[in-house]
Amino acid sequence: MADKKTRYDKKNKTMWVYREFDKSKTLVPSDELQGWVKQKQSGETDDGEPLEHVNYVFADEQTAEYNHQPMSFSNLGVYVGDLDDHEKYQSEEGEPEFSTKKDFGIE
């Protein structure tokens, strides 16, 4: 079973999304990710609040690691902890690098 909570920070125009999964090797569903990306791109939440940042907070470091790359690709923040007390996730490998041309086989 998964646990999901959200909190909006009006001052920083940031949506915080807390996720806890039974299995650490569980990806956030793609339709959920796409929903947040669309809201971020539109600049507002579904409730009409201004939105500049979306940050996911995972209950454990293993889940944060497993979700780090797709979150980074979507330009969403990754944190570990809970909505009240969290730290930015730092992968041992650093931030993933993306080269659009190279990723699509264009040299």
Q: Rounded to two decimals, what is the model's pTM?
A: 0.84
Distance CA 57, CA 43 (A): 21
The answer to whether residues 68 and 61 touch, using CB atoms and an 8 Å cutoff, is no
| Strand (E) or helix (H) holding 70 | helix 61-73
Measured torsion, CA atoms of residues 46, 51, 53, 57, in degrees rounded to the nearest 10: -40
pLDDT tens, N- to C-terminus, the chain (107 residues)? 567 899 999 999 999 999 999 999 999 999 999 999 999 999 999 999 999 999 999 999 999 999 998 898 889 999 999 999 999 998 877 665 555 555 555 55
Residue-wise pLDDT for 44-65, tens only, equals: 999 999 999 999 999 999 999 9
Pairing outcome for strands 77-81 and 86-88? antiparallel
